C-alpha cells in the first residue's frame, strides 16, 4: 500500500504504521527536510529518484515529491478502541459507507474532533485503501479503526461497556436540543440508504440535524462532521 504526499507521509512516520521504504524527489536530497530526518531516525530506507520516476509510481498524481511504501493497514480490535483515557469516549460507527473520499473525509473530521475510534463493517463497505489514506491527509495515522463482520454484535459490545448508541438519521430528536454528554457511539449511514432499519432497532435513540433547504439530506461526511463537532461543543462549553 502506498501513502503519497508530504503531510500523509510525515504523519505515517510519526505513527505506528510499518513503512518499508520512502521514495523522495532527488532534488530534495541536499536540503534540510523533516521527512528525511524522521526516516533516518527510524532507520527507514530512503531512495532518491527523479520526479519523473515518482510520477510513474504515483497513483494519485499528488505525491508532492514523497511516496511511502507501507504494509497493509492494521485494524484495531473493539477492545483496543475502548483503551482510552477519555471518561466520555466517543466512537463513530459507519453503516455501509462506500465512497473512499467520504470515508477519508470522515476519518479526518474524527481525528480533528478527538474521536476515540471508528468501526466499519468488513463487507459491503469501503475499506482502508490508498484513496482513503490520501483523502484523510495523514489523519488516519492517528485514528483507531476497527473492522467487524457484524455491526449488530459490535453495537452489543459497546452497550455491554455502558456506551450509548445513537443513529444520526432523519426523524429523530433535534441534535441541538439533545444532551450528548455521555459515553457515546454515533452511527452514520450509507450515502444512499442511510442507517439500515435493522441497525436502527439496536439504537438507544436517533439524533437529527435540522435542515432548512429543499433537499432533505446531507453528504455522509459532512453530516458526520457536524454531528461530532456538536457533541464536542456540548462537552467543552455546556
Quote the CA–CA distance of 159 and 35 in Å, as a whole number: 42
Q: Is residue 32 classed as helix, strand or coil in its secondary structure?
A: coil
Q: What is the pTM of this model?
A: 0.81
Q: Which among 146, 99, 90, 142 has a CA at the least distance from the CA of 122?
A: 146
pLDDT at 56: 93
pLDDT confidence of 7, banded at 50, 70, 90?
Answer: confident
| CA–CA gap between residue 229 and residue 78 (Å, rounded) | 23
Please give the pLDDT value at position 159: 97
List of residues 6+ apart from 237 with CB closer than 8 A: none
Q: How many Å from the N-terminal Cα to the C-terminal Cα in the chain?
A: 43
How high is the pLDDT of residue 190? 92
Average pLDDT for 39-43: 91
Question: What pLDDT, on the 0 to 100 scale, is given for residue 130?
Answer: 80
Distances (CA, A) of 27 to 1, 3, 11, 48: 24, 20, 22, 8
- The arithmetic mean of pLDDT across residues 51-70, rounded, is 90
DSSP states along 144-184: -EEEES-HHHHHHHHHHTT-EEEEEEEEEEEGGGS---SSE
Instruction: Cell 503531510: give the residue.
Output: 7
Q: Is pLDDT of 106 > 90?
A: yes
pLDDT of residue 12: 85
- What is the CATH T-level fold of the domain 78-237, as seen in this structure? Alpha/beta knot (3.40.1280)
- Chain centroid to Cα 224, Å, comes to 11
Contact 177, 183 (CB under 8 A): no
Kindly tell me if the per-residue pLDDT of 207 is higher than 90. Answer: yes
* C-alpha cell read off for 43: 532507520
Candidates 45, 38, 42; CA nearest to 22 is 45
Q: What is the pLDDT of residue 66?
A: 94
Q: Domain segments of the chain: what residues?
A: 2-70, 78-237
Of residues 228 and 60, the one with the higher pLDDT is 228
Per-residue pLDDT, 219: 92
What is the rounded CA–CA span in Å between residue 150 and residue 45?
A: 39
Do domains 2-70 and 78-237 share one topology? The answer is no
If you average pLDDT over residues 207-223, what whole number do you get? 89
Q: Per residue in 140-178, pLDDT tens?
A: 888 999 999 999 999 999 999 999 999 999 999 999 999
**CATH: 3.40.605.10, 3.40.50.150, 3.80.30.20, 3.30.1330.30. Which one for 2-70?**
3.30.1330.30
Of residues 129 and 168, more confidence is placed in 168
More confident residue, 15 or 172: 172
**What pLDDT band is residue 204 in, cutting at 50, 70 and 90?**
very high
- 36 φ, ψ to 5°? -60, -45
Q: Which ranges of the chain would DSSP assign to H, the alpha helix?
A: 6-14, 34-41, 51-57, 78-82, 100-113, 130-135, 151-160, 197-200, 220-237
Q: Average of pLDDT values for 86-94?
A: 96
Task: Using a pLDDT cut of 90, give the percent of the chain over it.
Answer: 72
Give the model's confidence band at 129: pLDDT under 50 very low, under 70 low, under 90 confident, else very high. confident
Is residue 118 within 8 A of residue 126, CB to CB? The reply is no
Amino acid at each position: 500500500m502506498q501513502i503519497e504526499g508530504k503531510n500523509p507521509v510525515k504523519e505515517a512516520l510519526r505513527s505506528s504504521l510499518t513503512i518499508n521504504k520512502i521514495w523522495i524527489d532527488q532534488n530534495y536530497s541536499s536540503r534540510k527536510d523533516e521527512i528525511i530526518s524522521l526516516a533516518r531516525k527510524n532507520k527507514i530506507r530512503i531512495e532518491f529518484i527523479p520526479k519523473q520516476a515518482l510520477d510513474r509510481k504515483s497513483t494519485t498524481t499528488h505525491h508532492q515529491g514523497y511516496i511511502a511504501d507501507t504494509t497493509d493497514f492494521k485494524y484495531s480490535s473493539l477492545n483496543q478502541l475502548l483503551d482510552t483515557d477519555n471518561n466520555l469516549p466517543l466512537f463513530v460507527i459507519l453503516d455501509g459507507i462506500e465512497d473512499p473520499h467520504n470515508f477519508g473525509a470522515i476519518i479526518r473530521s474524527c481525528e480533528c474532533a478527538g474521536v476515540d475510534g471508528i468501526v466499519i463493517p468488513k463487507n459491503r463497505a469501503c475499506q482502508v485503501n490508498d484513496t482513503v489514506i490520501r483523502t484523510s491527509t495523514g489523519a488516519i495515522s492517528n485514528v483507531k479503526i476497527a473492522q467487524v463482520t457484524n455491526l449488530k454484535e459490535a453495537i452489543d459490545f459497546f452497550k455491554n461497556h455502558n456506551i450509548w448508541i445513537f443513529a444520526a438519521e432523519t426523524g429523530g430528536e433535534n441534535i441541538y436540543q439533545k444532551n450528548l454528554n455521555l459515553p457515546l457511539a454515533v452511527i452514520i449511514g450509507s450515502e444512499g440508504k442511510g442507517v439500515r432499519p435493522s441497525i436502527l432497532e439496536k439504537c438507544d435513540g436517533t439524533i437529527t440535524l435540522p435542515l432548512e433547504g429543499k433537499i432533505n439530506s446531507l453528504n455522509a461526511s459532512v453530516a458526520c462532521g457536524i454531528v461530532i463537532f456538536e457533541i464536542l461543543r456540548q462537552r467543552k462549553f455546556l
